[in-house]
Structure formats: structure tokens, C-alpha cells
Amino acid sequence: MSIVKPISASRRRVLQSGAAGIAALAAPALVLAQAAPKIRIGYWPVAAGLPFFAAIDRGYFREAGLEVEPLKFAGAQQVMEAMLSGRSDGSSNGTGSANLAIGEIAQPGLFKIFCTNPSNAKFVLDEFIVAKDSPIKTMADLKGKKVASGPGIQNMTLCKTMLERAGATGATVSELPIGQHVASLVAGQVDACYTLEPTGTVGRMNGTTRVIEAGVVAKYILGDPMAPWHGGAASLTSEFIKKNPDAAKKFIAAYARGVELVRTKPADARQHMKGYTAIEGALTAEVPLASYMLYNEFKPSDVAYFQKFYDLFTEKGIFEKKVPVDGLLYKG
């Protein structure tokens, strides 16, 4: 039978001091681990996500001491759902702003927007296209025609509203993945498509489709072809910002470096579409680049146009209540 000897007071003090020393040595590593959490960012594989793609490839996040994990999703709705479920800490540019707002309604205070990708007649993202030899020349000519729209509640609502406002009454709108738009026009399955770039560029370059009007949301929804349509947004969840304020600031600063690269060296930035989107080869140099607006660049007029876009969804009953844009913007 073994006998357990009691620990002497002096021996206890040595053990306690040793444990404290081990804890002290471990503390810096623990603090470091807490200071640099993995940041999971959902993205949709579209050209508007370029600043995010560039920031990853060029090591901007790594240089800031951050580990960023890009999560690819089939659509903006899935990006938002991942944020709601806690599987993602934010979204890259190109994620539909209205999709994000639906997440905000479901869980108030879910996220903060720190960068948008506004488009209009100059910075083209949105457009209506037809087959190259189609007799259709204007939006009004789509009256009673079959029109395909990009998928999701944001695209479908905008498409139907724009057709109404352009006088194209009686048009039948169906949902179709954007990657199938050119083929559906060539096959004669639809008369026109409300689509997003690079679809129009793809069709133009292979000689099968043409654009009848671009920058359509700014014109028909916001009332000015040059108004900024904040159709996509980069965000971080409020929970992540609250738990990791320093990491959030570093992430946004590194992301802003990606925005600056797109603004100042667009030709250099374009190469980063490869691997994240279906855009490659000659198309990389041709696809229009989005404009970008960081949270600290918003003027009252920008917020007002953003609000006008959101108010359409409230008016149409898509949003069950008004979503104030100003409260969604990151304040730094």
C-alpha cells in the first residue's frame, strides 16, 4: 500500500511560483493568439470583389499581421446567411447590399459596411443585353417580351421595377444564373437579360450579344444615370468588430490598400480576378472595373442615394420595415 505524503508549505510555495511562471510565459502567446484571429470573409466570384482579391494575393492582410480566409459562395444570399449563422465574419465587395439588409432585418445590428462599390453609366456593372441581331433597340421595346434576370431578390426586384419604369409593360421576367445569360440569348430562349458585368463584355467579345442600355439602376431607380448605385458592399459583423476592434481596423486599412491599387493601378490590379472569378485571358483587360467608396468618403448625397435604393425594397414589401442606411455604415 502506497502512502501519500502531505506537501510541505515550502514545497507548495515552489510549485505555486513555478505554475505562475509557466502561466506568465504562456500569457504573451495567448494574448498574441487573441489579437490575431482568423478572419473569414465571404465573397461572390464577381469582378467587384477585386480589392479583396488583390489584398489577399499581394499580402496586404498578412503584412498587417492578419490571417484572412476567403470563403467562396454561389450568391450574395449565401454570403449573408453565413454571416447570420456565425460561419463568416464579413463580406467582400460585390455582395448585394439588399441581401445584406435582409440579414439586418433578421438580426438587427448584424454588420457594419466599410466599403461599397457604386456603379452608374460611367462605372458600369448593370445592363440589359440582347442578341446581336435582335431588332430590340431600347428598353421600351421589351414590352411583352421574355426577360431573364440575374438570380436573387435584389436582381429580380430591380429588373421588374426598371422594366415598369421604362414603359416595358407586360414583360415576363424569369430568374436565371448570370453565367447562362449569353447562351440563353443565343438559343432564343429569352429576348433580353438584365445582367451584371462581365456578361455584357463576354457577349460583345464573342460577337453574340450587345448592350441596349447600361447603368440602368442609376437611371430608372435613382433617377440620374450618374447617381451612385451602392449595389454591393464589403462589411464586417458587429460581433467581430466588438470582440476584435484592433484586428477590424487593421483589416479595413489593408482592404483600403486593395481599393487604392484598383484606383491608381487598374491594369496591375486586374490580374487578381484570376482564381477568384471566371474572368481570365483577354477578358481580364476588357471587363469594366467598379468604383469604390470607403466609409469615410461618404457625403450626405451618397447616403441619400443609398437610402433611396433601400427604400424601393421597403416600398415593394421585400423589406418588412425601413432600413436606415446611416446606422449600417462603419464609423471607425
* Domains in the chain, CATH or no CATH each: 34-120+229-328 (3.40.190.10), 126-214 (3.40.190.10)
Over residues 157-199, the pLDDT tens digits come to 999 999 999 999 999 999 999 989 999 999 999 999 999 998 9
Question: What are the residue ranges of helices labelled H in 36-143?
Answer: 50-57, 60-63, 76-85, 97-106
Nearest to 85 by CA among 113, 115, 107, 114: 107
Q: What is the DSSP string of 23-54?
A: HHHHHHHHHHHHHS-EEEEEE-SSGGGHHHHH
pLDDT, one tens digit per residue, over 114-136 is: 999 999 999 999 999 999 999 99
pLDDT tens string 188-232:
999 999 999 989 999 999 999 999 999 999 999 999 999 999 999
The per-residue pLDDT for 5 is: 43
Question: Which helix (DSSP H) or strand (DSSP E) does residue 294 occupy?
Answer: strand 293-294
Q: Which residue in this structure is represented by grid cell 477585386?
A: 50
Residue 72 gets the label, from left (phi > 0), alpha (psi -120 to 50) or beta, of: beta
Q: Read out DSSP for 194-234?
A: EEETTHHHHHHHTTSEEEEEESHHHHHTSS-TTS-B--BEE
Q: Which helix (H) or strand (E) holds 304?
A: helix 300-315
* Model pLDDT, residue 253: 98
Cα(255)–Cα(260) distance, integer angstroms = 9
Q: Which pLDDT belongs to residue 265?
A: 97
Which cell numbers in the block locate residue 305? 442615394
pLDDT < 50 regions, the chain: 1-7, 10-34
Cell for 318? Answer: 421585400
pTM for this model (two decimals): 0.85
User: From CA 222, how far away is CA 284, in angstroms rounded?
Assistant: 30
pLDDT of residue 12: 44
Per-residue confidence (pLDDT) for residue 18, from 0 to 100: 44
Return the pLDDT at 35: 52
**Which neighbouring-strand residues pair with 112?**
236
Of 128, 274, 291, residue with least CA distance to 215? 128
Q: How far is CA 120 from each of CA 50, 116, 214, 217, 315, rounded to the nearest angstrom?
A: 18, 13, 8, 7, 22
DSSP state of 281: T
pLDDT at position 304 is 98
Query: How high is the pLDDT of residue 111?
Result: 98
**The pLDDT of residue 30:** 42
* CA 70 – CA 241 distance, rounded (Å): 18
CA dihedral 4, 8, 12, 18 (to 10 degrees): -90
Look at residue 280 in the predicted model and tell me its pLDDT: 86
